[in-house]
């Protein structure tokens, strides 16, 4: 079963999503060195001959397998397949801790994915999702997969020191994982305990907003189109940052310029209709600035 970062991780986290950009299937996966589009052929390279996102790959801040190059600097994330290898989940995590402690943010993010997968294995939301599948065979396959994952997660679920998704998500984001920075703004359950915890500890929500905005801006400055979309949604909803329709539209325009399939013309028109002509022009100018800083 194929899963994209945006569609699947947000569902798996069972939270209110900030990011809504859906990327392609695994057929579009390739390392930065393997994919050359018309835009990237004429790209200005770093002094060492590398495009910016290849530096992120070499620094283990993003996995080459999930990078979709889009231009001189811009890239998107497309993750498909299982969130962890089959087998004992706790053993897998123990095999990645050494690399994580050495500063490998990709390894830390892999630990987060494993704990997140185990948190959701056999959950009511997962069972309900299986029931919504049209074909009985698909329902049975989904339920069998859930049951198998639950068995593989049994030892991890008993280990309170390891089975803490939020700990690994924050650590990966702080280490520079682009995927972790994107998901930190979305997986509020891991970040601060979700809506129930927000009532008991509003200070944690304030800290999350600050960190989430910082992470998204960092990811955007490194060329992440997913981060541009997330910042647009953040300015639309007013949850992470103060609501700003003009700024939101600017981020959407910049994202579409980097990745035309990110938004349809109809959807952009819908957002622009909420703005005055002066606000629209301001957003266009701001979008050019965002695009230059992010993606050129």
Over residues 91-140, the pLDDT tens digits come to 999 999 999 999 999 999 999 999 999 998 877 777 778 777 878 887 88
How far apart CA 203 and CA 207 sit, in angstroms, is 6
Where in the sequence is the domain holding 115, given as residue range(s)? 1-29+78-192
> To the nearest 5 percent, what fractions of the chain are helix, strand and coil?
65, 0, 35
Number of domains in the chain: 2
Kindly state whether residues 268 and 156 are assigned to the same domain: no
The answer, yes or no, to whether residue 2 has pLDDT greater than 60, is no
Q: What is the model's pTM?
A: 0.81
Q: What is the band of 72 on the pLDDT scale with cuts at 50, 70, 90?
A: confident
Report if residue 51 sits inside a domain.
no
Per-residue pLDDT of 229-267, as tens digits, reads 999 999 999 999 999 999 999 999 999 999 999 888 899
Query: C-alpha distances in angstroms, 173 versus 43, 157, 221?
Result: 28, 23, 15
Residue 146 makes CB contacts below 8 A (sequence gap 6+) with 121, 122, 126, 127, 130
**211 located within any domain:** no
236 secondary structure, DSSP code: H
Q: What is the pLDDT of residue 50?
A: 55
Domain-located, residue 70: no
Task: Return the exposure string of 258-290: e unless at least 16 CB atoms fall within 10 Å of the residue's CB, then b.
Answer: bbeebbeeeebeebbeebeeebbebbeebbeeb
Residues 24 and 121 in one domain: yes
Same domain, 95 and 6: yes
Q: Is residue 21 part of a domain?
A: yes
């Amino acid at each position: 079963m194929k899963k994209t970062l945006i569609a699947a991780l947000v569902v798996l986290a069972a939270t209110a999503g900030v990011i809504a950009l859906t990327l392609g299937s695994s057929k579009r996966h390739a390392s930065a060195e393997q994919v050359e589009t018309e835009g990237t052929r004429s790209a200005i390279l770093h002094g060492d001959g590398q495009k910016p996102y290849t530096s992120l790959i070499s620094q283990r801040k993003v996995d080459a397998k999930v990078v979709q190059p889009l231009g001189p600097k811009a890239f998107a994330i497309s993750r498909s397949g299982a969130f962890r290898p089959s087998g004992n989940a706790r053993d897998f995590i123990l095999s990645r801790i050494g690399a994580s402690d050495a500063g490998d943010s990709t390894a830390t993010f892999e630990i987060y994915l494993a704990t997140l997968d185990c948190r959701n294995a056999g959950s009511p939301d997962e069972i309900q999702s299986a029931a919504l599948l049209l074909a009985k065979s698909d329902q049975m396959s989904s339920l069998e997969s859930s049951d198998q994952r639950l068995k593989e997660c049994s030892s991890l679920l008993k280990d309170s020191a390891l089975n803490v998704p939020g700990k690994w998500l924050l650590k990966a984001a702080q280490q520079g994982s682009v995927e972790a920075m994107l998901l930190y703004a979305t997986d509020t359950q891991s970040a601060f305990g979700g809506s129930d915890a927000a009532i008991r500890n509003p200070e944690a929500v304030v800290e999350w907003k600050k960190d989430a905005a910082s992470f998204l801006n960092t990811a955007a400055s490194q060329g992440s189109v997913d981060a541009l979309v997330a910042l647009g949604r953040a300015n639309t909803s007013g949850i992470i940052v103060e609501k700003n329709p003009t700024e939101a539209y600017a981020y959407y325009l910049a994202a579409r310029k980097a990745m035309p399939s990110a938004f349809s013309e109809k959807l952009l028109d819908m957002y622009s209709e909420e703005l005055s002509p002066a606000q629209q022009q301001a957003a266009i100018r701001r979008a050019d600035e965002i695009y230059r800083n992010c993606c050129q």
